[in-house]
Structure 1
Amino acid sequence: MDRLLLDPHTALAEGATLAALLRCCAREVCGPRGQVWAAEPYVMLRVAGTLLRVRAQGGIALRFDGPPEWLADGSWLPLTSGLLLDLLQRELAQQEFAQQPLQQRPVRPQRATRGLDQRVADQREVVGRGLEGVNDEFAAQVVSSRDAIATILSARAEAAEGTARASRPPQDPWLASEQALVYGHPFHPSPKARTGSQWPLYAPEAHAEFPLRLLGVRSNLVAGQGDAGALDRLGTAPPGYALLPAHPWQLDLLAGELREPLGDGRLIDLGYGSRPVIPTSSVRTVYEPGTGTCLKFSLDVRITNCVRKNAWYELTGAVELTERLHPVFERLADAFPGTRWLPEPGYRSAALGTRLLEGLGVIVRSGPWAVCGPGVTPILAAALAAPPYGMAEGDAATAAGVPDAVRARRAGDPLTWWKAYVERVAPPVLDAYFTHGVVLEPHVQNVLIGVDDDGLPVEAIFRDLEGTKLVAGRHDLSGLPGRVAEAVTYEAGHGWDRVVYCLVVNHLAEVAATVAEPAAKPASLLDRLWEVAREVLAGYAGEHGRPVPLAGLLAGAPLPAKANLAVRWARSADSAAGYVPVANPLAGYWSW
C-alpha cells in the first residue's frame, strides 16, 4: 500500500498499523532470535531473510522517527503493513512460532535478491500455498484494525468540523482522555480489530454516546450480589420486575436467545433510557453521568485479545474482591497519600441459564469523580502515554486527551513531573503485592492519574477488578466457590511477572518515552527519567527490607513483556499469553 496515494486518514491508519506490527516483530520475533541490532542511526531487523531498518528512540517503548524501509537489490524501499504482514506470516509459519519454545526456533535467513514487485509476489505466493501455521484470521484482524483506525480518524475529523452526524468530543477532561486512544496498544498486531459492523456506533474513540436499553427482569429471576442499587436510578420497572440496563449492541448480539424469555414475560423490554451514556476506553464499560457511576457490561465481541464477556465467576469475583480490598486500600492510602481505587460493589443479571446470566450481567463501578480529592482532575494514564510525535502519531488525534496544564508542566519541568508520577503509581502497586498479597493490574488503561490545577500528578486511581488477583496462600478463600477462588488467585511468581509487565513495561516505559520525546535530546532525557524511577523504586525497597524480586528488578533482571503477537497468531485465549524478555532500563543501561 503506497501511503502517498492514500487519503490522510487511511495513510495515518497505515502508518499506525505498520508501526504496531514492527514493534511486535522486534519484541517477539526478532529480539528473542538475535535478529534485531543497532546500526546508528537505525535499528535493523531481519524477518524471513529480509533486512528492515527504521530510526527509533524511546528505549523499550520503541518509538519511530521515520518510515521503516526494507532492502531489495541493494536499494532501501518503503515498507508497508501488507509486505511486513507477509514476511511475518512466512517467518512464523516456517519457525512454527505457535508450537515451539522461543529457544528452540532456528533462524533460516534468506537473501533478498529480487525487485519489489517480485519479492511481494513471492511472499504472497508462499502464504497463498497454505504453509502450515499460516492463518487468514490473523491477517484479517490486522487489516480490520487498520480499517477501523481510518474510520475512527474520519469520524473525529467530522466531529471537529461540526458535521451533524458526528458526535462531539466530551467536555469532561477525564472522558476526553478515555476517548483519546485512537491507535490503541502500541505492541499489539491488531489493536483496533472489532467484530461486526455496528462498532462505530459505540466506539469511544469516535466520541460515541448512546442511551442504554432497559429490561425488566421478573423479581424471582433476578440474579445478583452486593449493592447494585445505582441501577434502579436509571428508570422505572413495573411491579413484580427489577430494572436491568443492557448495552444495545449486546442485545442485538443476543437477539435469538432473548426471543423466548421476552415472549413469555420472564423479561420485558422497557425501551431506551432517557439519557445517554459515554463509553470509556474499554468500549464495554460506560459512564452514566446521572448516577456518576460506571457500568461494565458483557459484550460478545473480540476486542484486542478477548471476547469481552462477564463470566459468572468474574461477576461474583468482582464483588468478593471489593469487600476484601476495602481495608487494603485504606492502608495503602495511609501509607501512600493520593492512592485511590474504584470499587465494584455489586452486579445484577437474570437467572436464565449461564449464557444469559453472563451475557446480561452488569457490574456497577464507582466513577472517578466520586473518589478524587477537591481540585483534582482524573486523566487516563494511556492518554498520557500516547505519543505526541512520531511516524503514525503526527496528527492531533490524541491531543484532546491531555489537558493543556499537564502538557505545559510536563514539558516545562519533565523531571519533577515524572518523579511525582512515579511516586503516585509505583509504591502502592509494589506494597499491594509485598505487604498485602494483592496483584494489581496497573497497565495504562487501568490507572487514572489525578492532576492538580498546575498539571502535577497528585493521585493514582486504580480500577478494574477483573485483572486484580490475590496471591495464592496468603488469603483465606475457603468460603468461595472453587471456580471463583481460582479466578481471583495468582501464584506468587505469576503475580510478580504480571505486576512488572503492567507497571514497568506497559506503563512506566510508555509514559517515560512520551515525556522524553519532545526534548532536544530525547535519549539523554530518557536515561535521566529512568534514573529517577530507579531512585523511587529503590527508596521503597530500602524502606521495606529489599524484597528479593524487587532487588532482582533493580539489579537489571530482564523484564517480562506480554506476547500479544504470539497469542493472536496461535488463536489462543488471552489467559494463555506468555512473556518474552526485554532489556531492563532500570539497570542504568540500554542495549539490544
Structure 2
Amino acid sequence: MTSLALDSPAAVAEEASLAALLRCCVREISGPRGQVRHDQPYVLLRVADTLLRARAHGGLALRFEGRAEWLENDSWQPLSADRLVRLVEAELGEGNDEFAAQVAASRDAMVTLLAARRDAPPPADPWLASEQALVFGHPFHPSPKARGGAGWLRYAPEAHASFPLRLLGVRDDVLAEAGEVGSLDALGAAPPGYSLLPAHPWQLELLSADLAAPLADGRLLDLGNGARMAVPTSSVRTVYEPLIDRCLKFSLDVRITNCLRKNSWYELAGAVELSRRLGPVFAELSATFPGTRWLPEPGYRSAELGTRLLEGLGVIVRVSPWSVCRPGVTPLLSGALAAGRQVTAADPVRWWRAYVERVALPVLDAYLGHGVVLEPHLQNVLIGVDAEGLPVEAVFRDMEGTKLVAGRHDLSGLPARVAEALTYDAEAGWSRVVYCLMVNHLAEIAASLSGAGPARELWAVAGQVLAGYAESRGWPRPLSDPLSDLLAGAPLPAKANLSVRWARSADRAAGYVPVANPLAAL
C-alpha cells in the first residue's frame, strides 16, 4: 500500500474504513463462527482462514488503537481495507460484485469530506455543529459513507454545507397536504391560486426530467431561491430552515448508506398520524420522566402529480429542538458525542447516570407502558445539556422509525398500507428498542466517556438505573418478560449491516446477530 502521511485525509479515511469493516467482521462473520478471541490488549479473529489482530477496548463499541495486522508466514503485517475486503469476499463467496466498490466509494467520500472541512468553518450554533460532525458514519457498517448521485458535496452536512432551498408554487388543484403546514407559507410568496412548496435543490436536479411537464403547463411554478441559507442535519435530507425555525425532511432519490432516502406516500401520512397519536403519550412520559422531549412532525405538503412526484416533492415539517428545550439547555446530537471518541465530564459517573436516566427510561416506558417503539439510535436522539454540560433533557425525533406495537392500538380507520408501515409485532419492536438503545447508543457513549474508570463501573450504574425502573413496574416478573431478560444479561440483538449489504437487501430486511450483554457480568 502506498505510504500516506498519518494525518492526511487519505490516511484517516483508510483507518476509519478499515476499522468499520473490521468491527463488522467481528460481529457478523467471525463472532458467530466462534472465530474471535480476546487476548488483551488484542482482539484476534479469523476471516477466510487468515488470522487478524488489533488492539481494542470499549467493549461492544470495539474502539481500535494502532494498526490492525494480519499474520503471514508467522509475521504480522499491516492490514489494509482493500485486503480485508478481499478476505470478506473469500469468506462469504460469490454473490456481490458491488461490495468492494461500495467500500471504496465510502472511503473516497470520507477523503473528500475531510478535505472540505479544512476550508469550511462549522456552524456557530452548537446544535447544528453537532449535526454536522459525523464524518465517519456508522461504526458498524461496511460502507458508512457510501452515497449515490453526483454533486453531493455541496449538500453534505459533514462538509459544513448550507444552501438556499428552492421554492415552488403548487397550483391549488394539485396540492397535496395534511396536518399543520402553515409555517411553510412564511418562506416566501406564492401567486394567487398557488401554495408555496420548498424543495431540496439536489432533489430537483434528480427529478428534472419528471418536472419538465408540470413546470411547462403551470401546475408547478419555479419561484427561485429562498431568502435564508438552510443547514443540512446529520441525515443529509433533513435541513434546518432558520427563517421559520423548523426542520424540513425532504425526499432524496439517492442511496445513502443502506437506503433510498425518500418519503413514501404512506410515510407522509404516517408521520402526521403518529404525531397526533403520540402527543398524549409524550405528555405522560414527560410527566413521569422530567426532561423528556420530542419533535412532532405535524404536517406534510407535496404535489398530487403521480406517485413519483408526490413522494419526490413531499416535505415533512418537524418542530426544531431549540423550540422544545427549556432556556439554558443546549441540544447536542448523541451521535456527535459518540463520534468525538471522548466525552469530558468533571464527574463522569454522575454524568453517565444522568444520561442513562434521561435516555433509557422513557424509551423503555414508551414500549412497556404505551406500546410505542421509539428508535433511539445515535442520530435520533439529542441530549440537552445545562451550563455545566450535565444531561438534563433527551429529545427524541424521526417518526419514520417510530412504530406502534401491533394489537395495542386501534388502527382500523387507517389505509392498510399506512397501518402496516406504522406497526411492529411485539418481538420485532422489542428487538429494535434494545438494539438501538443498548448496542447502538449506550455502548458507544460509554466507550467515549473519558476518565470514568473501568467500563464495569459504568454498566453497574446503568444496571442500577434500569433495575430501579423495573422495580417501579413491579419487577421481577415472569422469565418471559423482556425487561427481566435484559436485566438478567440475555444476549442483545445487533443489527447485521454487513449481511444486509452483502445480500443487497432493503434495510428493513436487516436481521440481528446476538452480542454480549454488558449487564451480564454484574
Ranges in structure 2 where 5+ consecutive residues have no aligned partner = none
Contact 2:376 2:433 in 1 (8 A): yes
Q: Report the secondary structure of 1:585's partner residue.
A: coil
Q: Give the structure 1 partner of residue 421 of structure 2.
A: 487
List aligned pairs for 1:109-128, cutoff 5 A: none
In structure 1, C-alpha distance between the alignment counterparts of 2:22 and 2:241, rounded to whole Å: 38
Q: Give the structure 1 partner of residue 324 of structure 2.
A: 371
In structure 2, C-alpha distance between the alignment counterparts of 1:272 and 1:5, rounded to whole Å: 42
List aligned pairs for 1:37-52, cutoff 5 A: 37-52=37-52
Contact 2:55 2:66 in 1 (8 A): yes
Q: Report the secondary structure of 1:32's partner residue.
A: coil
**Counterpart pick for 2:469 among 520, 540, 551:** 540
Q: Give the structure 2 partner of residue 4 of structure 1.
A: 4
**Counterpart pick for 2:282 among 315, 321, 329:** 329
In structure 1, C-alpha distance between the alignment counterparts of 2:117 and 2:279, rounded to whole Å: 39
Displacement of 1:298 in angstroms is 0.2
Contact 2:17 2:103 in 1 (8 A): yes
Q: Report the secondary structure of 1:269's partner residue.
A: strand
**Counterpart pick for 2:156 among 179, 189, 203:** 203
2:245 matched to 1:292?
Answer: yes
**Counterpart pick for 2:192 among 215, 230, 239:** 239
Q: Give the structure 2 partner of residue 218 of structure 1.
A: 171
Partner deviation per Cα, 1:212-235 (whole Å, 9 max, x = no partner):
011111001100110111111111
Matched letter for residue 57 of structure 2: Q
In structure 2, C-alpha distance between the alignment counterparts of 1:215 and 1:224, rounded to whole Å: 14
List aligned pairs for 1:323-362, cutoff 5 A: 323-362=276-315
Q: Report the secondary structure of 1:187's partner residue.
A: coil
2:511 matched to 1:558?
Answer: no
In structure 1, C-alpha distance between the alignment counterparts of 2:40 and 2:210, rounded to whole Å: 59
Partner deviation per Cα, 1:224-261 (whole Å, 9 max, x = no partner):
11011111111111111111110000000000111111
Matched letter for residue 571 of structure 1: R
Q: Give the structure 2 partner of residue 172 of structure 1.
A: 125
In structure 1, C-alpha distance between the alignment counterparts of 2:281 and 2:149, rounded to whole Å: 41
List aligned pairs for 1:102-501, cutoff 5 A: 132-133=94-95, 135-159=96-120, 168-388=121-341, 407-408=343-344, 410=345, 412-501=346-435
In structure 2, C-alpha distance between the alignment counterparts of 1:324 and 1:302, rounded to whole Å: 31
Displacement of 1:41 in angstroms is 2.2
In structure 2, C-alpha distance between the alignment counterparts of 1:196 and 1:323, rounded to whole Å: 35
Question: CA RMSD of the aligned region, Å?
Answer: 1.2
In structure 2, C-alpha distance between the alignment counterparts of 1:490 and 1:196, rounded to whole Å: 32
In structure 2, C-alpha distance between the alignment counterparts of 1:55 and 1:215, rounded to whole Å: 54
Displacement of 1:139 in angstroms is 1.3
Name whichever structure is richer in strand by fraction: 2
In structure 2, C-alpha distance between the alignment counterparts of 1:80 and 1:387, rounded to whole Å: 24
Ranges in structure 1 where 5+ consecutive residues have no aligned partner = 94-131, 160-167, 390-406
Matched letter for residue 50 of structure 1: T
Overall identity of the aligned pairs, in %: 70
Q: Report the secondary structure of 1:435's partner residue.
A: helix
Deviates more, 1:541-550 or 1:61-70: 541-550
Contact 2:6 2:12 in 1 (8 A): no
Partner deviation per Cα, 1:141-182 (whole Å, 9 max, x = no partner):
1111100111111011122xxxxxxxx310000000000111
Q: Report the secondary structure of 1:453's partner residue.
A: coil
Aligned residue pairs, count: 518
Contact 2:109 2:146 in 1 (8 A): yes
2:464 matched to 1:531?
Answer: no
Q: Give the structure 2 partner of residue 398 of structure 1.
A: none
Displacement of 1:387 in angstroms is 4.1
Partner deviation per Cα, 1:312-367 (whole Å, 9 max, x = no partner):
00000000000000000000000000000000000000000111000000000000
Contact 1:2 1:80 in 2 (8 A): no
In structure 2, C-alpha distance between the alignment counterparts of 1:311 and 1:480, rounded to whole Å: 16
**Structure 1 segments of 4+ aligned residues over 6 angstroms from their partners:** none
Contact 1:531 1:588 in 2 (8 A): no
Displacement of 1:4 in angstroms is 3.4
Displacement of 1:6 in angstroms is 7.4
Q: Report the secondary structure of 1:69's partner residue.
A: strand
Contact 2:184 2:196 in 1 (8 A): yes
Displacement of 1:3 in angstroms is 4.8
In structure 1, C-alpha distance between the alignment counterparts of 2:438 and 2:80, rounded to whole Å: 30
Displacement of 1:304 in angstroms is 1.0
Contact 1:55 1:65 in 2 (8 A): yes
In structure 2, C-alpha distance between the alignment counterparts of 1:578 and 1:311, rounded to whole Å: 22
In structure 1, C-alpha distance between the alignment counterparts of 2:472 and 2:7, rounded to whole Å: 55
Q: Report the secondary structure of 1:67's partner residue.
A: strand
Partner deviation per Cα, 1:173-204 (whole Å, 9 max, x = no partner):
00000001111100001111101221100000
Q: Report the secondary structure of 1:46's partner residue.
A: strand
Matched letter for residue 450 of structure 1: G
Deviates more, 1:452-461 or 1:40-49: 40-49
Name the TM-score, length of structure 2 as normaliser: 0.98
Matched letter for residue 461 of structure 1: V
Q: Report the secondary structure of 2:119's partner residue.
A: helix
Matched letter for residue 544 of structure 1: R
Displacement of 1:7 in angstroms is 6.9
Name the TM-score, length of structure 1 as normaliser: 0.86
In structure 1, C-alpha distance between the alignment counterparts of 2:5 and 2:48, rounded to whole Å: 27
Matched letter for residue 401 of structure 2: G
Matched letter for residue 498 of structure 2: L
Contact 2:55 2:64 in 1 (8 A): yes
In structure 2, C-alpha distance between the alignment counterparts of 1:136 and 1:170, rounded to whole Å: 40
In structure 1, C-alpha distance between the alignment counterparts of 2:97 and 2:107, rounded to whole Å: 15
Displacement of 1:40 in angstroms is 2.4
Q: Report the secondary structure of 2:394's partner residue.
A: strand
Q: Give the structure 1 partner of residue 16 of structure 2.
A: 16
2:75 matched to 1:75?
Answer: yes
